[in-house]
Structure 1
Amino acid sequence: MQAEVSDKPVAVDPVALRRAFGTFVTGVTVITTRDSEGRPRGMTANSFTSVSLDPPLLLVCVGKGASSFPVFQDTDHFAVNLLHEAQTDVSNLFASKSADKFAAVSHDGVHTGAPVLTECLTWFDCTVHDRVDAGDHTILIGRVQAFGTSPSAPLGFCRGRYAQVKNPLPPGWLSSHNMIVGYLIEAEGSLLLASDGKNGWTLPSAPHRLVNGRLPIAGGDDLELLPDDTFLYSVFDAAGSDSGYLIYRARLALPRAACEIPENFRFFPLDQLPYDDIPTTEIRGMLRRYVTESAGGRFGIYMDSHDGGRVAMVSAAQPHMQHLQHSQP
């Protein structure tokens, strides 16, 4: 006996369906654009996916009930900003009805003019390729015009709450034109190192330039650094890595006891650095040079090259080295 198939719509419990959809682990994004008067607008969204490499396309779903929906429905450009694990506050801010969501968030225009969050994990600056009406959402398909990424860990989302993502950066993942930005952060004769998750140690890193002299540390407070004592120290490539390194020397502006340092970070006295637990040969060599130069109170800038590199000796107090800021290439 053949079962009959009805073409009548089946009643689906929307609450149960939302919970079922929520079991799929996603990242968290903030999508941004500007309204007709040039004001920045943005909202949190996790319905994001890549679509095509040729042409470079992505999509994000915008709820028709969102206050920013009319702006995204009319715009010809937008940006998708993927958040890193320390940006739950940014996610909550852009999910709120705050009147000025951009007041406390660093942002900039890159290609289309859409606001790009300068401290996020990854950003895509897009022109609108197409719009597709889909029930209570519009599928906004963007053509990527520019993008940037960083070695930070992503912010995850599952079952209605934030989730932690382990091992976010496989070896060789970053493109060759990207740079890992590391910091030699000294305080009271000791140097701050970060656990690499493999029983080893490495330098603290940051995806973008410092904001107001503060370095974000996942799991702890932002570290306030002395702006007059933060400068470029070394630029080099590492064997077996597709990424180069930009290393900056810095000092804490506050005593160590006043800073919240997560368990995966630790200060080591300069004469007790764990060289055997630092897997990168180039970083070990750089740290040995740093310890030697610290003892003499005079530092140099190392620039890698095919014939062995060069060190230009400078004084830490030279005016042209002060207030130096950087951005990821």
Structure 2
Amino acid sequence: MMRGFPTGVAVVTALDLDGRPWGMTCSSLCSVTLDPPTLLVCLREKSPTLAAMVDRGEFAVNLLHAEAQATAELFASGARDRFDRVPWHLDGDCAGPHLRQDAHAVADCWTRTPQPVGDHVIVFGEVYGVTNGSRCRPLLYGLRRYSVWPHS
């Protein structure tokens, strides 16, 4: 059923306690509240990205634009060298690596209230910063393929 529910594509990123970057493609993302601004993401229980998010207490959500399918596939692949293969940015207020060339927007979040459900964990993220990038159309995923928002 859910494959027929198209969604935007994001790469969730975080740093572990040693400063090593972690990240994964995530289409299980939604807005929860406006006040305080809060998102939720769902990650596999054994994900090293999840461990970094919880241990560090913060993470970034990179919303990918239409030209970033290769990055979505890379971060879904499990390749250990993914951060060596894409440009990323991290400055003082970043909660996790920002994929500036591939994201049309990035939200920096504090990790709030992880909730295990089955083999995944729902993580609420209180947004404390948003960086808007290009005005490119968003990358979409549904019916087990990537697509792009049509021109109006």
Contact 1:112 1:127 in 2 (8 A): no
Structure 1 residue 97: deviation in Å? Answer: 2.1
Structure 1 residue 69: deviation in Å? Answer: 3.4
Tell me the residue number matched to 1:31.
Answer: 12
Structure 1 residue 65: deviation in Å? Answer: 4.1
Any gaps of 5 or more consecutive residues in structure 1? Answer: 1-19, 168-196, 198-329
Contact 2:67 2:139 in 1 (8 A): yes
In the superposition, the TM-score normalised over structure 1's length comes to 0.43
Larger Rg: 1
Tell me the residue number matched to 1:117.
Answer: 99
* Structure with the larger RCO, 1 or 2 (CA within 8 Å, 6+ apart): 2
1:21-62 alpha-carbon deviations (Å, 9 max, x no partner): 111110111000001110111001100011111111111111
Q: Percent of aligned positions with the same letter in both sequences?
A: 36
Which one has the bigger strand percentage?
2
Cα distance in 2 for residues equivalent to 1:22 and 1:60: 17
Cα distance in 1 for residues equivalent to 2:109 and 2:85: 24
1:256-295 correspondence runs (5 A): none
Tell me the residue number matched to 1:158.
Answer: 142
How many pairs were matched up?
A: 149
2:40 corresponds, among 59, 66, 82, to 59
SS of structure 1 residue aligned to 2:18:
coil
1:17-166 correspondence runs (5 A): 20-110=1-91, 111-119=93-101, 120-149=103-132, 150-166=134-150
Structure 1 residue 102: deviation in Å? Answer: 1.0
Any gaps of 5 or more consecutive residues in structure 2? Answer: none
Q: Which amino acid aligns with 2:125?
A: G
- The CA RMSD over aligned residues, in Å, is 1.6
1:284-309 alpha-carbon deviations (Å, 9 max, x no partner): xxxxxxxxxxxxxxxxxxxxxxxxxx
Q: Which amino acid aligns with 2:100?
A: T
Cα distance in 1 for residues equivalent to 2:50 and 2:107: 19
Q: Which amino acid aligns with 2:120?
A: H
